Amino acid sequence: MAEGLVARVKRLVSGGVNQLVDSIENTSPETVMAEATREVDRAVDQVRDELAGILANKHLANTRLGETTSRHEELQGQIALAVKEGRDDLAEAAIARQLDLEVQIPVLEAAVADASREEKELEGYISALQARKREMEAELENFRRSQQQSATDSAASGHAAPKDSVEGKTRKAEEAFDRVMKGATGLPGGLATDKADATKLAELDDLARKNRVSERLAALKASAKDG
C-alpha cells in the first residue's frame, strides 16, 4: 500500500476528533466532526481499491506457481525417459528448462506470501477505520444531543443561538481537511549499471548454468545405471 495512504489511515485511526476540532478555526465543531466521518469513508474506499488489486495479483501468482510446479514435475518424468533411451540431447534440454522453472518458483512463492501478508494488513486497516468511524459517529451524536440541549436551555432562558451558513461551514471544513490530511510520498532513485560488467556477469551466469545442467545429467545417468 502506498506510504501516503498508510500514513493517512494511521492519522485517522489515532487522531482525536476533539483535537482536530480545536485545530480548525472559524468552523463549527459539528461540521468538522461530520467531515471527519466522511474522510474515514473515503479512506476505506481507497484501502478497498488497494485490496482488490492485491487479491488479483495473489490469484495470478498462485495460478502461475501451480502451472510452474506442475511443469517441473512433468519434466522430471520426461528427463528420466530421455536418460533411459540414451537421448542426452533431450535430457539436457529438459534439464535446462527445469533450471529456468526452479529459479522462478521461489519468486512466485514469495509473491503469494507477500500478497497474503498485504491482504491481511489491508483487511486490518479497513476494520480499524470502520471501528474509528463508529466511534466518530457516537461522538457526533453525543455532540448533537448536547447542542440540542443547549439550544433548548437557551430558548428557555430567552437567548437565541447564533446561526452560520451550512454551505460556508462545509466548505471551510473540507478546505481544512485538505490541509490537515494531505500526505506526500517519495520515489526511490534509479541505479546505474555498468554495461561491460553486466556482459561479463551474464556470460558467467551462462557458464555456471551449463555446468549445472551437465552435473545434473551426469547424476541422473549414474542413478539410472545403479538402478
pLDDT tier at 164, thresholds 50, 70, 90:
low
- Output the pLDDT for position 2: 64
In whole numbers, what is the pLDDT of the chain averaged over residues?
A: 78
Q: Are 12 and 129 in contact (CB under 8 A)?
A: yes
pLDDT tier at 47, thresholds 50, 70, 90:
very high
End-to-end CA separation in angstroms for the chain: 54
> Is the per-residue pLDDT at 180 higher than 50?
no
pLDDT tier at 70, thresholds 50, 70, 90:
very high
Q: Cell 459539528 appears where?
A: 30
Q: How far apart are CA 78 and CA 84, in angstroms?
A: 10
Q: How far apart are CA 115 and CA 223, in angstroms?
A: 40
How far is CA 37 from each of CA 80, 114, 131, 132, 201, rounded to the nearest angstrom?
Answer: 65, 31, 11, 9, 56
